[in-house]
Amino acid sequence: MLESYVTPILMSYVNRYIKNLKPSDLQLSLWGGDVVLSKLELKLDVLEQELKLPFTFLSGHIHELRIHVPWTKLGSEPVVITINTMECILKLKDGIQDDHESCGSNSTNRSTTENTKSSVKPRRIQQAAPTDPDLPPGYVQSLIRRVVNNVNIVINNLILKYVEDDIVLSVNITSAECYTVGELWDRAFMDISATDLVLRKVINFSDCTVCLDKRNASGKIEFYQDPLLYKCSFRTRLHFTYDNLNSKMPSVIKIHTLVESLKLSITDQQLPMFIRIMQLGIALYYGEIGNFKDGETEDPTCHSKDMLGNITGVEDETRIDMQYPAQYKGQELYSQQEDEQPQGWVSWAWSFVPAIVSYDDNEEDFLGNDPTSAMHQQKAQTLKDPIVSIGFYCTKATVTFKLTEMQAESSYYSPQKVKSKEVLCWEQEGTTVEALMMGEPFFDCQIGFVGCRAMCLKGIMGVKDFEENMNRSETEACFFICGENLSMKGLTYLTNSLFDYRSPENNGTRAEFILDAAHHKETYTEIAGMQRFGAFYMDYLYTMENISGKGSANQQDFSSGKSEDMGVVQEKSTKSLVIGPVDFRLDSSAVHRILKMIVCALEHEYEPYSGLKPDIKDENETTLNPEEVASLEEYIPTRHTSITLLKCTCTIFMAEFNLLDHLLPVIMGEKNSSNFMNTTNFQSLRPLPSIQILVDKINLEHSVPMYAEQLVHVVSNLTQPSDNLLHYCYAHCYLKIFGFQAGLTSLDCRGSYCLPVPIIPSFSTALYVKLLKLPTCWTKRSQIAITEGIFELPNLTIQATRAQTLLLQAIYQSWSHIGNVNSLSVNEALMNEVFQTIGVKSKNPLPTLEGSIQNVELKYCSTSLVKCASGTMGSIKICAKAPGDSGKEKLIPLLQGPSDTKDLHSSKWLNESRKPESLLAPDLIAFTVQVPQYMDYCHNSGAVLLCSVQGLAVNIDPVLYTWLIYQPQKRTSRHTQQQPVVAVPLVVPISRRKEDEVSVGSAPLAKQQSYQASEYASSPIKTKTITDYKGEKTPEKHCFWFP
């Protein structure tokens, strides 16, 4: 009979997780076709043991469980399991106690774990499955597979709660249903076949609500906050691909979730709790929960140095065993692989994959299979890890930040209510989060979105700047824009997902995955990522390669913990982030809302999850032999991060109101009340002057050793470590800025900008910094640099009239002077002078001062004894552009260096004409400063100052006095008509003048008016070289040339 085969399987699952069930009663009810069980208690210890979650179940029960088995149509209708009202309450495990206890005795832990596993195993139903000659084993196995593949699971009213400190996080899902579907993702009764080795499932979640509340000391919630997420529905598609009909584990697993609309709401009281939950996820991801006690240090054999959650204890110890064998090998490496050991989330998720896609081990026993053959089959399958693809896609997401205030009812005894007001909104379109893994040796995560923007809503701190009666436009409310519009971009964020009709899975073909690091970097470039998304793209890649073992690392069983079966493992980790065109407007409304969110996030008293590791050098120093040192130098794993910002525009407006004195003290750590409410009325200021900054590209690169602590302990014990080893003991940071320029602009009442007035023409710069890891391990080596830095500035030019500097001063004072800014209203004549109408010549044009410095290079270095700084500046030039005769502009030099001043006293020097200094001219200023690190020990290392200054020529001209005494005056002419301009560069290029036309003297040359830096201030520059500080010590040359 079929019941003899199917019933034990279903009963084993039910009996495994539910307490106090009588197998006889359950079996009789199940044979009747329907089972109804009420008020069931879950076996919490079994759930914790099998799920391996870092949480403890405080309670768990099911109100009603229904099982429907269509015995007469078992081959065509699914078995339906319905759970009505399931509630579980969780809390974080006592990680400090559990972690240290798990590391105390390896043998005891192994025996305890084996006992626990044996007790967790469900008691097998003591009933032999009768053999029916009419049912061949192949048919039974096929039928069991069809039944299991088509089981429908329905959960109504699922409640999950997490409690910690005063935080209560609850998730309520009204309905969740999982069922099997066909090729078109419609409900169907399917099974894998020899021609179609694919199984598809769909999980629909209806009305998901997430609440985050604060409880008091007695555990009660006094005031319920607005839900974080309210009645959100989403669907998940699962796609399993098998190699053959007998495969127990799919070769490819795809789990993709799509949310059409995600609306999150966070209040000021929920923000600290929300950040606390995020910190919990990060701490669990890195395996940092409860690693230390007060006064204790970490045992290297108990903690997994995880690389963004992907390197568990076996990978860490395997690499250590091969490259640092004498320093920190554990006594028993395989003891680290017990289930209760701390690990990253990726490793945990990977270990859980077989449980959600494979049958139970007991099924093989019920089917009468040979245990030996099953064991060999399982071992053979573990040699090849399945490919797992997990994706989350959101069409539109909205996050609203609210401020709350208590509101009492009319009656004295009525409870208070919380009233919330929306002040900030973040909108995001086309969001994608994808993760691809194949075992632990390969993991890739890509995150991106098409576009986003941030908007101001209603009022802030009593200032009604965006109330409904203000009639302000949406353009004024939006202060952050990045990327493109989803309607214009299309559905590129769904590319190759299960929701993309063009994907291989939806067209009957098998998908191909890139699992090679080199091929991955060639395919998923920054350009490709920005073409798919447009606003933000992040690619994180981690690979582990076995370069000398038996076969590739992807085919090794990395969960075995036997390092002798593997060769040298090379780990690589790269993170690349690209942010697309950004338009950031910092006005009073945006600044106060951003700072208010920061203040709300800081108003908590939560302790960090993991304490800082004590920086103590290991007393048990071990010296490595030359062979081990050579092996160490061959490859050292690092984490490399690259952040690129493209086409950034930042506009800083004059402050229309300034209440920063009530926000900054809280952010700086001073005790101050942040509940201040302004009582003055808000009045919009138009035209509103602003500083506009444009940057073509900003690139930040950061590299750090993956296992800094172990590496530093080994290298610091070497007598003469090589430059390559010392290089990897530092954290390196390289910042490059290209095309930085700034100018003045103004916003009129129509929301349009006038033509930008350039202040700083385009220039580029670079900064390099390296920091020594674990400086306390190098106290005996005073010559080792703790911090080093190099700054390069090839050319910088600043040009401004006196009116423009007064306007800059007014913008600065609006932010620095606390109080009502309306009194600092800008003079109308000053605005007219700065922003002149196009095509209208001024009767009295103002002179412009222009200063330029070239070839600036600064270096800084600090050791345990001294701090040293040195630098050079190639040249400095200051000139004035003043109106001349016939409407032409004349150029008056005021300061120049370096200059040959030997004949400065003679009139010949003033009248002769000379070309600018050549590239081989000496630097104007060169200096070196050295001071002791601690002034109390200055007698051991004295301070040093060396300085060299070349000749400097100064010309005092009346135009400088004219520039200084300018005061804005009202004009009788009509108001300036501001021209709206979109994306106008701050610097207008013109044809360059020849070098021999530039003169130095009292008779200035005539020159056409221009916004470009003058030829006088833009003489040729020198080529600078920055050493890249790599292991090979190969100098890298960076040349900056500008028009």
pLDDT tens-place string over residues 643-681: 999 999 999 999 888 888 888 878 777 765 556 666 566
pLDDT digits over 874-890, tens only? 999 999 988 877 667 88
Q: Parallel, antiparallel, or unpaired: how do β-strands 638-653 and 569-579 relate? A: parallel
Distance of CA 31 to the CA centre of its chain: 54
SS3 995: helix
836 contacts: CB under 8 Å, gap ≥ 6: 842, 976
CA distance 174 to 156: 6
pLDDT of residue 629: 79
State percent of the chain over pLDDT 90: 36
Is the confidence at residue 986, as pLDDT, over 50?
Answer: no
pLDDT digits over 90-141, tens only? 988 875 334 433 433 333 343 334 444 444 343 333 333 344 444 456 777 7
Neighbouring-strand partners of residue 204: 177, 235
pLDDT digits over 764-819, tens only? 999 999 999 998 888 888 889 999 999 999 999 999 999 999 999 999 988 887 65
Q: How many CB atoms lie within 10 A of CB 591?
A: 20
Neighbouring-strand partners of residue 391: 256, 434
Report yes or no: 807 and 834 within 8 Å, Cβ to Cβ: yes
CA distance 248 to 357: 8
Q: How many CB atoms lie within 10 A of CB 462?
A: 13
Indicate the residue type of 961: Y
pLDDT digits over 269-302, tens only? 999 999 999 888 888 876 666 543 333 333 333 3
Owner of token pair 């890195």: 286
pLDDT digits over 50-75, tens only? 887 888 889 999 999 998 888 888 88
Band (pLDDT 50/70/90 cuts) for residue 570 is: confident
**Helices first, then strands: H and E counts in the chain:** 24, 31
CA distance 745 to 982: 12
The more confident residue out of 938 and 993 is: 938
Is the confidence at residue 159, as pLDDT, over 90?
Answer: yes
pLDDT of residue 703: 95
CA distance 870 to 859: 5
CA distance 142 to 135: 11
Q: Which two tokens stand for residue 432?
A: 């994608």
pLDDT digits over 454-492, tens only? 999 888 887 887 777 667 778 888 999 999 999 888 899
pLDDT of residue 973: 42
Burial (0-12, 13-18, 19+ Cβ within 10 Å), 281 = exposed
In order, the DSSP letters of 783-839 are TS-SEEEEEEEEEEEEEEEHHHHHHHHHHHHHHHS-B-GGGGPPPHHHHHHHSPPTT
The residue-averaged pLDDT of 199-217 equals: 93
CA distance 894 to 960: 8
The residue-averaged pLDDT of 532-550 equals: 84
pLDDT of residue 244: 87
pLDDT of residue 921: 72
Q: How many CB atoms lie within 10 A of CB 566?
A: 21
Q: Which of 118-122, 123-127, 362-366, 539-543 has the highest mean pLDDT?
A: 539-543
User: In angstroms, what CA-CA distances link 428 with 210, 277, 394, 451, 538?
Assistant: 20, 22, 9, 6, 16
CA distance 263 to 398: 5
State percent of the chain over pLDDT 70: 68
Q: What HEC string does 676-702 produce?
A: CCCCCCCCCCCCEEEEEEEEEEEEEEE
Q: Which two tokens stand for residue 999?
A: 């003169």
Is the confidence at residue 408, as pLDDT, over 80?
Answer: no
Q: Is the peptide bond preceding residue 761 cis, with omega within 30 degrees of 0?
A: no
User: In angstroms, what CA-CA distances link 764 with 353, 596, 648, 725, 1042?
Assistant: 50, 34, 14, 32, 9
Is the confidence at residue 320, as pLDDT, over 80?
Answer: no
Q: What phi and psi, each to the nearest 5 degrees, are found at residue 355?
A: -70, -25
* Cα-Cα-Cα-Cα dihedral sign, residues 933, 935, 937, 942: positive
Q: Parallel, antiparallel, or unpaired: how do β-strands 889-897 and 953-954 relate? A: antiparallel
Report yes or no: 266 and 402 within 8 Å, Cβ to Cβ: yes
CA distance 882 to 885: 10
Band (pLDDT 50/70/90 cuts) for residue 991 is: very low
The residue-averaged pLDDT of 685-689 equals: 86
Band (pLDDT 50/70/90 cuts) for residue 350 is: very low
CA distance 874 to 897: 8
CA distance 9 to 623: 58
Q: What HEC string does 385-416 produce?
A: CCEEEEEEEEEEEEEEEEEEEEECCCCCCCCC
Q: Parallel, antiparallel, or unpaired: how do β-strands 944-949 and 925-932 relate? A: antiparallel
pLDDT of residue 330: 31
Q: What phi and psi, each to the nearest 5 degrees, are found at residue 326?
A: -95, -5
Band (pLDDT 50/70/90 cuts) for residue 608 is: confident
Q: Which two tokens stand for residue 687?
A: 């035209």
Is the confidence at residue 985, as pLDDT, over 60?
Answer: no
pLDDT of residue 1039: 35
pLDDT digits over 886-897, tens only? 667 888 889 988
Lowest mean pLDDT, pick from 282-296, 315-329, 459-473, 966-980? 315-329
Indicate the residue type of 155: I
pLDDT of residue 166: 87
pLDDT of residue 237: 96
Neighbouring-strand partners of residue 200: 181, 239
pLDDT digits over 734-768, tens only? 999 999 999 999 988 777 888 889 999 999 999 99
Give helix 588-602 / helix 270-286 axis angle, nearest 10°: 70
Round the CA-based radius of gyration of the chain to a whole number and report it. 35
pLDDT of residue 229: 93
Q: Which of 155, 187, 349, 163 is nearest to 273 (CA)?
A: 163
Q: Which two tokens stand for residue 472?
A: 């302000």
Give helix 345-357 / helix 270-286 axis angle, nearest 10°: 80
910: DSSP letter: H
Report yes or no: 577 and 644 within 8 Å, Cβ to Cβ: yes
Report yes or no: 923 and 898 within 8 Å, Cβ to Cβ: yes
Neighbouring-strand partners of residue 175: 156, 206
pLDDT of residue 246: 80
Q: Which two tokens stand for residue 1027?
A: 């050493």
CA distance 198 to 210: 34
The residue-averaged pLDDT of 956-982 equals: 67
CA distance 733 to 640: 10
* Cα-Cα-Cα-Cα dihedral sign, residues 465, 467, 473, 476: positive
pLDDT of residue 833: 86
427: DSSP letter: E
The residue-averaged pLDDT of 154-166 equals: 92
Is the confidence at residue 405, as pLDDT, over 60?
Answer: yes
Q: Which two tokens stand for residue 343?
A: 């690990």
pLDDT of residue 528: 93
Owner of token pair 């003469």: 720
CA distance 924 to 854: 10
CA distance 1036 to 1043: 23
C-alpha distance across the termini of the chain, in Å: 89
Q: Parallel, antiparallel, or unpaired: how do β-strands 152-164 and 80-92 relate? A: parallel
User: In angstroms, what CA-CA distances link 268 with 214, 418, 464, 676, 905?
Assistant: 12, 12, 19, 15, 70
Band (pLDDT 50/70/90 cuts) for residue 312 is: very low
User: What pTM does this model have?
Assistant: 0.79
pLDDT of residue 675: 63
- What integer best gives the mean pLDDT of the chain? 76
CA distance 264 to 281: 18
Burial (0-12, 13-18, 19+ Cβ within 10 Å), 839 = exposed
Report yes or no: 916 and 1000 within 8 Å, Cβ to Cβ: no
* Cα-Cα-Cα-Cα dihedral sign, residues 556, 561, 562, 568: positive
The residue-averaged pLDDT of 319-336 equals: 33
Band (pLDDT 50/70/90 cuts) for residue 911 is: low
